[in-house]
């Protein structure tokens, strides 16, 4: 099934329909998506990392968990399939997809919402996804009487709101919220925060890289000097973040922050890690928002925090993204992320048979 999940798009598969052997699975998926090819012309991929994504969903054997969700990022031009990052955007489609495929118990006819506990295999953490139901099926458009219709920046129109609440995401990839144990590090003379609240991100001031921070993604991508400096920082950050050699990895992401230009708390431009995101990733946003709440970080330095420090609005190239997180700094400086929640929408685009390239 082809679905839009948040501001991304991907192919969703039932785990049992794919080969068990990861190498055979990855080979099949590349042939389905048209990887490697800049245009992915011979497959279902959309020629951008945000549309070259796969979600693999199955019933979970874990107690207290309904579904297992494995996310795979497929390269576009390069023949890569990576499970080293999560995707909170595709997560929005996981519950509805599972209901469509009979991986969840049928919903009573009068149900108006379903809550599922999803084990995010990539980071071994749990998210609770709540999505609207109408006549026992996913209510993508939010047409039910009790459904809330919402719009998310980066996606035209409105749809039924899907809430995602993340539990225990901190350190899922790096082993700790702050893998170096510090809020502030310096790489190539640039002050950075290396952080992981479900997505490893290097957060730094746009001004320290010689840009304003509100440029269009295409303009930033065309800046060869900026890209070279960012890649140098990323390659050094990898081992420091316990990610090892990240030459071929899609993490860590790189986020350039600057003072808000509109009504938000912080302006962001995120490299994922080579293309500049047209918006911002879900868990990427949670990581950046967490950094903005940590005194002494470059993000906190310039964030314009309002009265409600648990609700942060991050501005991005196509609008803004609201995060709701609660961070507690203990007596000895131990930082704990108590809660992280966001709202997305998702939509079934096509359901059918894919014909992989031979």
Question: Binding to ligand NQM by residue 234, rule CB under 6 A?
Answer: no
Residue 11 or 89 with smaller CB distance to ligand NQM: 89
Binding footprint of ligand NQM, residue count (CB under 6 A): 16
Q: Least distance (Å) from ligand NQM to the CB of residue 354?
A: 21
307: CB partners within 8 A, 6+ apart: none
Question: Binding to ligand NQM by residue 290, rule CB under 6 A?
Answer: no
Q: Between residue 31 and residue 50, which ones bind ligand NQM under the rule CB under 6 A?
A: 49-50
Q: Least distance (Å) from ligand NQM to the CB of residue 103?
A: 22
SS3 label, residue 286: helix
Cβ atoms of 298 and 257 within 8 Å: the answer is yes
Count of CB atoms situated within 10 Å of the CB of 156: 6
Question: Binding to ligand NQM by residue 249, rule CB under 6 A?
Answer: no
Question: Binding to ligand NQM by residue 87, rule CB under 6 A?
Answer: yes
Q: Which stretch binds ligand NQM (CB under 6 A): 16-24, 84-92, 241-249, 290-298?
A: 84-92
- Hey, CA dihedral for 70, 344, 290, 338, is it positive or negative? negative
Cα separation, 306 vs 226, whole angstroms: 31
Comparing every residue's Cβ against ligand NQM, the nearest one is 281
Residue 180 or 318 with smaller CB distance to ligand NQM: 318
- Which member of 119, 229, 253, 316 binds ligand NQM (CB under 6 A)? 253
SS3 label, residue 62: coil
In sequence order, the β-bridge partners of residue 119 are 68, 126
Cα separation, 266 vs 259, whole angstroms: 5
What single DSSP character describes residue 121? T
Selection from 252, 139, 129 nearest residue 187 by Cα: 252
Residue 113 or 249 with smaller CB distance to ligand NQM: 249
Q: Which stretch binds ligand NQM (CB under 6 A): 114-122, 131-139, 217-225, 275-283?
A: 275-283
Q: Which stretch binds ligand NQM (CB under 6 A): 59-67, 119-127, 261-269, 281-289?
A: 281-289
Question: Binding to ligand NQM by residue 8, rule CB under 6 A?
Answer: yes
Q: Least distance (Å) from ligand NQM to the CB of residue 78?
A: 15
Q: Least distance (Å) from ligand NQM to the CB of residue 353?
A: 25
Residue 9 or 205 with smaller CB distance to ligand NQM: 9
- At CA 291, angle to CA 167 and CA 202, rounded to 5? 100
Buried b (16+ CB within 10 A) or exposed e, 13-23: bbbeebeeeee
Question: Binding to ligand NQM by residue 199, rule CB under 6 A?
Answer: yes
Question: Binding to ligand NQM by residue 52, rule CB under 6 A?
Answer: no
30: CB partners within 8 A, 6+ apart: 36, 74, 79, 81
- Which member of 35, 89, 173, 323 binds ligand NQM (CB under 6 A)? 89
Q: Least distance (Å) from ligand NQM to the CB of residue 134?
A: 26
Buried b (16+ CB within 10 A) or exposed e, 249-278: bbbbbbbbbbbbeeebbbbbbbbbbeebbb
- Segment 258-261 long-range contacts (CB within 8 Å, at least 24 positions apart): 258/205, 258/206, 258/207, 258/212, 258/213, 258/214, 258/302, 259/302, 259/304, 260/303, 260/304, 260/315, 261/214, 261/315
- Hey, CA dihedral for 319, 316, 290, 273, is it positive or negative? positive
Question: Binding to ligand NQM by residue 259, rule CB under 6 A?
Answer: no
Question: Binding to ligand NQM by residue 283, rule CB under 6 A?
Answer: yes
Taking residues 126 to 155 in sequence order and writing x for each that binds ligand NQM by CB under 6 A, - otherwise, the string is ------------------------------
User: Which residues contact ligand NQM by CB under 6 A?
Assistant: 7-8, 49-50, 86-89, 199, 250, 253, 272, 281-284
């Amino acid at each position: 099934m082809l679905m839009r999940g948040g501001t991304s798009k991907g192919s969703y598969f039932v785990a049992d329909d794919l080969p068990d052997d990861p190498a055979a699975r990855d080979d099949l998926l590349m042939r389905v998506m048209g990887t490697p090819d800049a245009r992915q012309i011979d497959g279902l991929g959309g020629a951008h990392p945000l549309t070259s994504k796969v979600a693999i969903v199955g019933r979970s054997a874990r107690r207290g968990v309904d579904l297992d969700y494995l996310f795979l990022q497929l390269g576009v031009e390069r023949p890569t399939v990576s499970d080293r990052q999560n995707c909170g955007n595709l997560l929005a489609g996981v519950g509805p997809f599972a209901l469509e495929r009979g991986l969840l118990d049928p919903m009573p006819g009068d149900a108006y919402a379903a809550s599922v506990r999803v084990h995010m295999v990539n980071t071994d953490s749990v998210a609770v996804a709540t999505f609207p139901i109408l006549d026992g099926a996913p209510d993508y458009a939010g047409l039910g009487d009790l459904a809330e219709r919402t719009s998310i920046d980066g996606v035209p129109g409105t749809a039924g709101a899907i809430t995602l609440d993340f539990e225990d995401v901190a350190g899922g990839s790096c082993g700790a919220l702050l893998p170096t144990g510090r809020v502030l590090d310096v790489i190539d003379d640039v002050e950075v925060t290396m952080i992981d609240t479900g997505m490893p991100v290097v957060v730094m001031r746009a001004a320290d890289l010689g840009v304003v921070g509100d440029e269009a993604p295409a303009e930033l991508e065309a800046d060869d000097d900026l890209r070279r400096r960012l890649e140098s920082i990323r390659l050094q950050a990898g081992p420091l973040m316990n990610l090892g050699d990240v030459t071929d990895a899609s993490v860590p992401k790189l986020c350039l922050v600057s003072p808000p230009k509109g009504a938000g708390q912080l302006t962001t431009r995120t490299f994922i890690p080579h293309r500049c995101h047209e918006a911002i990733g879900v868990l990427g946003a949670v990581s950046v928002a967490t950094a903005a709440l940590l005194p002494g970080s470059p993000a906190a330095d310039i964030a314009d925090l309002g009265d409600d420090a648990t609700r942060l609005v991050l501005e991005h190239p196509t609008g803004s993204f609201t995060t709701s997180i609660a961070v507690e700094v203990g007596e000895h400086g131990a930082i704990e992320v108590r809660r992280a929640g966001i709202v997305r929408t998702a939509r079934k685009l096509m359901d059918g048979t894919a014909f992989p390239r031979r």
